[in-house]
Amino acid sequence: MRIAVVSDVHANLPALDAVIEAVGRVDAWWQCGDVVDYGPHPDEVVARLRELGAQGVLGNHDAAALGSSILEWFNPYAHAACLWTRERMAPETRAWLEALPELTTIGDWALVHGSFRKPLEEYVEFPEEAAASMAISGARLALHGHTHVPRAWRRTGRSASDDGFTVGAPLALGGDTWFLNPGSVGQPRDHDPRAAALILDTDAGSATLLRVPYDIERTQADIRKVGLPGILADRLAIGR
């Protein structure tokens, strides 16, 4: 099977559409949370993922848009964007998000947004965090998002290492234990403004990172047009 994995789309329709076009035909679409918020296209992005039959998990921004008190921890820009999203979302968008679990398993893979210790809160940014989460998940193969930075955590004894991705080159998974982060479609934070996604090839046992250019200026214009904080538009051009 060939599976496309996306995360942290953050209501950025031009970025998602560019990824869909670049990926082409696949057997399934999975997503690791934060479908909405920050960006100006929550209904359109959810509609697109529904059309694709995407399966996945709830992110912290999705939960906040649905009314979770997790909103209290957001910075002022995220707080303002979340309140806008709450008011803007259509009933069918809300219903789709409400049906998402915090954790799920699809075949051999376990999916979460943040970590298996704290699904909506913890950022897995260091080896000890990755190792702890991998131990809790009990899965040999797992996926997460939240950090907006692609990672390929491999279990090494009681620790973990980031084996990294080379864009466009398949990473052989073999029989090792992995915790992969596809990066962010809609708001990358690794100084590369291109949208990020993973392609899993279950027959070859590999994962390939894609980076896809998209019409950033269109998203920036739409952010400003609807009155969202300007910093959310500015940061897209620098991948931060």
Instruction: Specify whether the CB–CB gap between 211 and 220 falls below 8 A.
Output: no
What's the total number of domains in the chain? 1
Tens-place pLDDT, residues 3-24? 999 999 999 999 999 999 999 9
Contact 64, 37 (CB under 8 A): yes
| Domain containing residue 139: CATH number | 3.60.21.10
Residue with tokens 């912290």: 60
Write the CA distances from 65 to 27, 38, 79, 98, 99, integer angstroms.
Answer: 30, 10, 10, 10, 14
pLDDT band at 138 (very low <50, low <70, confident <90, very high): confident
Return d(Cα 207, Cα 200) in angstroms, integer: 5
Q: What average pLDDT score do residues 153-178 get? A: 94
Percent of the chain with pLDDT over 90: 96
- How many Cβ atoms from other residues are within 10 Å of residue 231's Cβ? 11
Between 189 and 158, the higher pLDDT residue: 189
Range of the domain at 18: 2-237
pLDDT at 194 over 90: yes
Q: Are 74 and 82 in contact (CB under 8 A)?
A: yes
**Taking CA 83 as the corner, what is the angle to CA 9 and CA 236, rounded to the nearest 5 degrees?**
35
What is the pLDDT, as a whole number, of residue 154?
Answer: 97
Per-residue pLDDT tens digits for 29-49: 999 999 999 999 999 999 999
Q: What is the pLDDT of residues 207-223, one digit of tens each?
A: 999 999 999 999 999 99
**How are strands ordered across the β-sheet holding 28-31?**
55-56, 28-31, 2-6, 195-201, 206-212, 171-172
Read off the pLDDT of each residue in 110-117 and give the average, rounded to a whole number.
98
